[in-house]
């Protein structure tokens, strides 16, 4: 049985890195802070995961960028030593820490505003889902046909295309799927067949979506065929290179993406 996921999302919609004068970034400031705490470039480099040479390059760059020297060094032993921040370095470190706090508060305020906006939340939720599935399609449930054990869930994509997904009754209840609910459909590229002239009597797959090839990527064995649907969505399928050549697939060719209902993974977009 395929996995189904219920997505309850709490995340930072807007992220950003604080950078002073376009050059002084968090990595540089973190190194200055480590030097201030350890009194050694060698030890500071280890703390922040840099080589001794890499740390020196950052320090030299920092000193060259500002009108006053940030770090003073004196000859030390094999472990370094004799390194400290100047008054200017201390002032810059304090300034960055203060600005970083204000920057976090600013981002939190923006993200809270987005989280309180239902329309923006609906647009942003699908972007936060991380999955190995090649295809991610946003849609709305239009009908649910329940059987004794399983149910067929009918989903309409934003361009009007319709997809049928197979779902157990237990998972249907667990995900709280209902008509009118928004979902994200996850489909692996390997689950999709590509045909140029479909004969619906020759395959049992419930889904057959038409479109045009917009890209063909080939390696020694496989070909990735990217199909643009009429509504603007794209669908990627992985087939053998031999099949791609036999079908004469190239940009602009009209094709159909064919896949079974149990190849569709449903992610329910909830506010939980």
**14-41 burial, b for 16+ CB within 10 Å, e for fewer?**
eeeebeeeeebeeebbbbbbbbbebebb
User: With bands split at pLDDT 50, 70 and 90, how would you rate the model's confidence at 1?
Assistant: very low
| DSSP per position, 100-131 | HHHHHHHHHHHHHHHHT-HHHHHHHGGGG---
How far apart (Å, rounded) are the C-alpha atoms in residues 206 and 166? 10
Residue 8 lies in a domain: no
User: Which tops the pLDDT comparison, 255 or 149?
Assistant: 255
Q: What pLDDT, on a 0 to 100 scale, did the predictor assign at position 52? A: 84
Beta strand pairing status for 5-8 and 264-270?
A: parallel
Whether residue 138 is found in the same domain as residue 111: no
How far apart (Å, rounded) are the C-alpha atoms in residues 61 and 267? 47
Q: Which CATH number does the domain housing residue 224 bear?
A: 2.40.50.100
Residue 209 lies in a domain: yes
Total domain count for the chain? 2
How far apart (Å, rounded) are the C-alpha atoms in residues 75 and 41? 11
Residue 11 lies in a domain: no
Chain centroid to CA 258: how far? Answer: 26
User: With bands split at pLDDT 50, 70 and 90, how would you rate the model's confidence at 117?
Assistant: low
* Single residue among 89, 115, 141 that ends a domain in this structure: 115
Over the stretch 224-260, which tens digit does the pLDDT of each residue have? 999 999 888 889 999 998 899 899 999 999 999 999 9
Residue 178 lies in a domain: yes
Nearest Cα neighbor of 35 from 19, 50, 17 is 50
Whether residue 251 is found in the same domain as residue 133: yes
Backbone angles phi, psi at 46, to 5 degrees: -65, -40
DSSP 80: B
How far apart (Å, rounded) are the C-alpha atoms in residues 105 and 76? 41
Whether residue 266 has pLDDT greater than 60: yes
Whether residue 232 is found in the same domain as residue 137: yes
User: Which tops the pLDDT comparison, 41 or 16?
Assistant: 41
Which residues are within 8 A (CB) of 73 and not within 5 positions of it... i.e. 6 or more apart? 41, 82, 83
Rounded to an integer, the average pLDDT of 16-30 is 73
* Single residue among 55, 80, 115 that ends a domain in this structure: 115
Rounded to an integer, the average pLDDT of 23-50 is 84
Residues 137 and 126 sit within 8 Å (Cβ to Cβ):
no
Whether residue 248 is found in the same domain as residue 215: yes
pTM: 0.54
Q: What pLDDT, on a 0 to 100 scale, did the predictor assign at position 203? A: 66
β-strand partners of 182: 140
């Amino acid at each position: 049985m395929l996995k189904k996921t219920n997505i309850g999302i709490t995340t930072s919609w807007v992220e950003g890195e604080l950078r002073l004068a376009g050059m002084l970034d968090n990595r540089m400031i973190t190194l200055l802070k480590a030097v201030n705490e350890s009194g050694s470039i060698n030890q500071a480099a280890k703390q922040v995961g840099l080589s001794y040479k890499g740390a020196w390059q950052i320090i030299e760059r920092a000193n060259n960028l500002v009108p006053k020297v940030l770090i003073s060094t004196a000859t030390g032993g094999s472990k370094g030593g004799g390194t400290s921040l100047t008054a200017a370095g201390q002032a810059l470190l304090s300034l960055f820490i203060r600005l970083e706090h204000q920057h976090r508060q600013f981002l939190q305020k923006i993200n809270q505003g987005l989280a309180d906006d239902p329309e923006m939340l609906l647009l942003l939720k699908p972007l936060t889902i991380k999955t190995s599935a090649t295809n991610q399609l946003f849609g709305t449930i239009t009908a649910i046909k329940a059987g004794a054990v399983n149910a067929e869930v009918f989903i309409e994509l934003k361009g009007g295309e319709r997809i049928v997904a197979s779902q157990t009754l237990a998972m249907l209840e667990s995900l709280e799927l209902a008509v009118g609910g928004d979902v994200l459909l996850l489909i692996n590229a390997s689950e999709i067949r590509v045909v140029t002239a479909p004969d619906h009597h020759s395959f049992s797959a419930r889904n057959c979506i038409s479109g045009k090839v917009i890209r063909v990527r080939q390696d020694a064995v496989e070909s990735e065929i990217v199909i643009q649907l009429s509504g603007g969505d794209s669908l990627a399928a992985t087939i053998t290179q031999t099949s791609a050549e036999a079908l004469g697939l190239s940009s602009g060719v009209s094709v159909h993406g064919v896949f079974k209902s149990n190849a569709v993974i449903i992610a329910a977009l909830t506010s939980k």
